[in-house]
Amino acid sequence: MTKDSTNKKRRVHFDPDNIDTIVEEETNLLKAAIAAGVHINASCGGAGVCGTCKVLIKEGEVESTRTEKLSDEEYKQGFRQACQSQIITDLTVYMPVESRLEKAILSREAKKTSEVLATGWRFKPALSKLLVELPPPTLADNAGDLSRLLRGLRQRYNLRNISVDFSVIKKLAKVLRNGRWKVTVTTLITAAKPRTKEWRRPRVINIESGDTREKHYSLAFDIGTTTISGQLLDLNQGKVIAESIDYNGQISYGEDVITRIAYCQKRGGLKKLQQAVTATINGVIRELKAQSQIDAKYIGHIILAGNTTMTQILLGLDPKYIRLAPYTPIANFFPPVRANSLGIKVGKQVYLFTFPSVASYVGGDIVSGIVGAGVHQRKNLTLFIDVGTNGEIVVGNSDWMVTAS
């Protein structure tokens, strides 16, 4: 790149999306598209070997390395591989249908009615919203605000040994007084051991003035290699009230988990892929909010299922060793994390829970499918198949299961 070219800005217009962006001269065309939010197929992650990122240069010039993926006729017509092209002048670029990701096709899939497949399950969310009415402090009873709240929870709901998030303590005094000592407390209680009646220590993760028990929602996500689907759930009614689906923004960096892992090894690659998936999640959340017209501050938590690689990338964890023998993930189980710390645009109180994985190539998406279909409860031999970008199969019943991918 010449010294003069570093300061030159070029306008790129993408059709049929009708999106404009300004970039520096000699910027890679595929990278410019990704930065502008234009999704172009790039199965090989920009290595130039798949040929899926063909675009038509309608106006302007690019400096492009020609590969065997373009025929003589295509090259004469002005087709170029976006990943092999550097922007020289202002451009008008047309993306043919085979190079585009069509969300319209996905939107029809999201309209399917969700049905509960598992049997024998009792609907009991880990989060509960509890109404607490406290006596205001007096000279005779001047206990601290936190002690007063914990005492109220113990007396009304028999909750003991409670832990409280510091974010709750920071706003406690204001919320209690704004609500005239009538508040709604969000508690998190999860089972300590499967198939037992033991429960973990109760945890207060949020507090709101007044009675907000009717506004109790959560988000559920399936983070696929190709698509990301989300549902907004009403935890009071146990119903899905909105659904949306979109292509995983990572797809422009590679079509499968192997190319994504390889991209993570590039400088800044992991951060880019992590930002791409959170951007898609945020887009799905915006659509869910638009459909339901609910206030996002009433979303209590997020549950997420994805394959091992997708889960680690979302959490900002390098998936390098999933690809290398002996193929080990960083962990199969991750503790809940604050969703906003990952760039997901929800309230500070929202925790994100991920389904545990089994191995490097048998992830939380398979575990959630087994649980959802109730395979582990069935006496009959059952075959569970996940037909996606990456394929997995499980066979077994309530006594045993084996899996392959």
For residue 8, being part of any structural domain is answered with: yes
Pick the last residue of a domain from 165, 188, 209: 209
- 278 has a pLDDT exceeding 90: yes
- Domain with residue 196: its CATH number is 3.10.20.880
pLDDT of the residue at 11: 94
Q: Are 160 and 306 found together in one domain?
A: no
Instruction: Give me the pLDDT at residue 40, please.
Output: 81
Here the tokens at position 192 are 């300590």
Q: Is the dihedral of CA 14, 20, 24, 25 positive or negative?
A: positive
Mean pLDDT of 79-93: 93
- 113 inside domain: no
* Domain total in the chain: 3
Residue 88 lies in a domain: yes
pLDDT above 90 (res 181): yes
CATH code at position 282: 3.30.420.480
Tokens of 364: 């939380």
Q: Are residues 149 and 298 in the same domain?
A: no
Q: Which amino acid type is present at position 159? A: L
How confident is the model at residue 120, as a pLDDT? 53
Q: What does the pLDDT average to over 250-260?
A: 87
Residue 163 has pLDDT above 70, yes or no: yes
Q: What is the span of the domain harbouring residue 223?
A: 217-404
Do residues 292 and 154 share a domain? Answer: no
**Lowest mean pLDDT across 109-123, 161-175, 233-247, 372-386:** 109-123
Cβ pair 17, 35 in contact under 8 A: no
**Per-residue pLDDT, 123:** 73
Assess if residue 111 is contained within a domain.
no
* Domain match, 204 and 231 both: no
Residues 362 and 254 placed together within one structural domain of the fold: yes
Using pLDDT thresholds of 50, 70 and 90, give the confidence band for residue 68.
Answer: confident
- The pLDDT tens digits for 361-405 are 999 999 999 988 889 889 999 999 988 777 889 999 999 999 998
Crossing angle, helix 145-157 and helix 166-178, to 10 degrees? 90
Specify the pLDDT at position 103.
55
253 lies in the same domain as 189:
no
**Same domain for 267 and 140:** no
Q: Going along 139-226, which residue ranges are E strands?
A: 163-164, 182-188, 203-209, 217-223
Together in a domain, 275 and 242: yes
141-154 per-position pLDDT tens digit: 999 999 999 999 99
Specify the pLDDT at position 47: 79
Q: Which of 59, 81, 100 is the last residue of a domain?
A: 100
Domain finish residue from 154, 185, 209: 209
Of 192 and 50, the structure prediction assigns the larger pLDDT to: 50
Q: Is residue 119 part of a domain?
A: no
325 plus 269 within the same structural domain: yes
Instruction: Show the CA angle centred on residue 42, arms to residues 41 and 47, nearest 5°.
Output: 165
Q: Running DSSP on this structure, what letter comes out for residue 145?
A: H
Average pLDDT estimate for 309-332: 96
On whether the CB atoms of residues 366 and 358 are closer than 8 A, the answer is yes
Going by pLDDT thresholds of 50, 70 and 90, the confidence category of residue 1 is: very low
Q: Find the CATH number of the domain harbouring 65.
A: 3.10.20.30
Report the share of the chain in percent with pLDDT over 70.
90
Look at residue 350 and tell me whether its pLDDT is greater than 70: yes
C-alpha to C-alpha distance for 76 and 118, rounded to whole angstroms: 57
Q: What's the chain's average pLDDT?
A: 88
What are the pLDDT digits (tens) for 198-245? 667 899 999 999 999 999 999 999 999 989 999 999 999 889 999 999
Query: Are 204 and 279 contained in the same domain?
Result: no
Q: Classify residue 187: in a domain, yes or no.
A: yes
Distance CA 83, CA 79 (A): 12
Query: What is the pLDDT, as a whole number, of residue 55?
Result: 92
Q: Answer yes or no: do 227 and 359 share one domain.
A: yes
- In a shared domain, residues 52 and 78: yes
Task: List pLDDT tens digits, range 351-360.
Answer: 999 999 999 9
Is there a domain that residue 384 lies in? yes
Averaged pLDDT, 173-201: 83
* CA nearest neighbour of 127 among 220, 216, 238, 198: 216
Q: Residue 386: inside a domain, yes or no? A: yes
